[in-house]
Amino acid sequence: MNDTTAPSRHIAPRGTTDLTSLGLAAAAAAVRNGDITSEAYTTALLHRARRFAELNAFITIDEDAVLAAARDADKARAAGSAALLLGVPLGVKDSYLTKGLPTSLGLDALAHFVPREDADAVRAIKGAGALVFGKNNLVEMSYGLTGHNARYGQVKNPHAPDRVSGGSSSGSAASVAAGLVPASLGGDTVGSIRVPASLCGVVGFKPTTGRWPRNGVAPISHTLDTTGAFARSVEDCILVDDVVTGEQAAEPFARGHDLKGARLAFAPRQFLDLVDPEVEAGFREVVRRLQDAGAEVVEVDLGDDFNALVQTATWGIFAHETMGAISEFLRHHDIPTTFEAIYEGLKPQLRQAWGHMVLPGGAGAISADVYRTALKVSRPEIQRRLDRAFVAQGAHAILQPTTPCTAPLIEEQASFRIAGREVSNLALANHTLSASSVGLPGISLPVGMSRAGLPIGLELDAPLRSDRALLTLARGIEEVLGSLLTI
């Protein structure tokens, strides 16, 4: 793994005077301080979004509306407003309801549906002065890990247009990686924030399940779903978390490239079992550098059957809850379609998958008894295993490669090879499932590039409700490893 970012094969580099190079915190400070106007910043982002429209990162951008909102933000600033995100445009995954702006959920049938309300998280960022730049492309109903959408196009990886972006929050990750917006809201059920963050080379934060508001966001599973954010730095994720939750950060571990006091765990038998050699080598180099910076890193073993336990329980809960969760969401928010109509309109491969495991009569559907066992037996057992690291070993976080490989080729996204073994694209979530299964907070950091110039991600999972400690630890690790985000 290289210590510096390899030159991008697709996205043009940005100079230091380019407004689109600003991160979220820097852009917000520049607008608040009067160094730049929201209108100038928004205009620069719109130019870049037009330039790289072929990435398919956005389904909807209302240029007139976002420019009008930017001018209003400049007027508010002149009148004395100092809101945290005043005048800064953010991307929003198109599974979030947005008042007055089309919300498709990735479906052709809802291409022109305009909600009368905002999702709670959208309301929060607007309340802090942010602008909705546009609605990010996503996999239909957030059901997929590669970024393919039959109606709105495959989201392409900004580092290589022939590679997938990851999913389901595909456009959110790609738009941040490509500098189209400084941050974006996404959603994560089994890895839909962390997988694309890893493959696109940005920071992706999944809070403790239920900590961020989910109202107004199209669901898959009430047990597993969470909203979250993408940004180019941990500091920017902390800022979004401030806005959405109102919480304050804990004291950081790192001061002057020092991680003394940080205790980290990794489970090589569970998380290095099926990993590309280059990704494993990069991960082990990261572990060495963290140890050199003073972190204590311990190996743990979560058990021979841990991966099978996580896979069976999590995918079972995921599929069993989908029909009820979506049906209730459509009813509650008066969305002009039905679950049955959505099912009939899905692309063939997704309709086949739903028919197999989501519909109650499907050959792969799990029974109510098996579902209850997953909730009442398997999840507590998974948590007990993880507590071996968090409680018995005193670990602040568990480390693993976020994805077991770099971004697969678009043309091979249904089936590809990892470490010589043929796998389906579900393997991209192999390492993100464990945190999702029991609701842990998790974050993916870009920590290097492959020889082919593709990002490699590091995931940190922390105990329940330790989100702010996780974010400050991640900020310290980011400082130690150095920023590898410039493209």
Spot the catalytic one: 165, 170, 192, 434. 192
Among this protein's residues, is 165 annotated catalytic? Answer: no
**Tokens standing for 77?**
């600033």
8 A C-beta contact, residue 191 and residue 145: yes
How far is residue 3's CA from residue 12's CA, in Å, rounded to a whole number? 20
How far is residue 73's CA from residue 62's CA, in Å, rounded to a whole number? 17
Residues 6+ apart with CB under 8 A from 324: none
How far is residue 64's CA from residue 222's CA, in Å, rounded to a whole number? 36
8 A C-beta contact, residue 382 and residue 309: yes
Look at strands 263-266 and 296-299 and give their pairing.
Answer: parallel
Residue 191 three-state SS: coil
**Tokens standing for 356?**
């197999």
Q: Where are the alpha helices (DSSP H) in 141-276?
A: 170-177, 194-200, 234-245, 268-271
Distances (CA, A) of 266 to 269, 271, 445: 9, 8, 16
Phi/psi at 421 (nearest 5 deg)? Answer: -110, 135
Among this protein's residues, is 168 annotated catalytic? Answer: yes
How far is residue 34's CA from residue 38's CA, in Å, rounded to a whole number? 9
By CB atoms closer than 10 A (0-12, 13-18, 19+), residue 65 is: middle
* Residue with the two structure tokens 């991960």: 283
Residue 65 three-state SS: helix
8 A C-beta contact, residue 168 and residue 181: no
Residue 380 three-state SS: helix
Spot the catalytic one: 168, 175, 221, 436. 168
8 A C-beta contact, residue 103 and residue 92: no
* Residue with the two structure tokens 């989910």: 214
In DSSP notation, 240-256 reads: HHHHHH-------S-SS
* CA neighbours closer than 13 Å in the CB half-sphere of residue 278: 18
Spot the catalytic one: 93, 126, 135, 206. 93
Q: Can you point out the beta strands (E) in 137-281?
A: 156-157, 160-164, 183-188, 203-206, 226-231, 263-266
Among this protein's residues, is 192 annotated catalytic? Answer: yes
Length of the chain counted residue by residue: 487
What residues act catalytically?
93, 168, 192
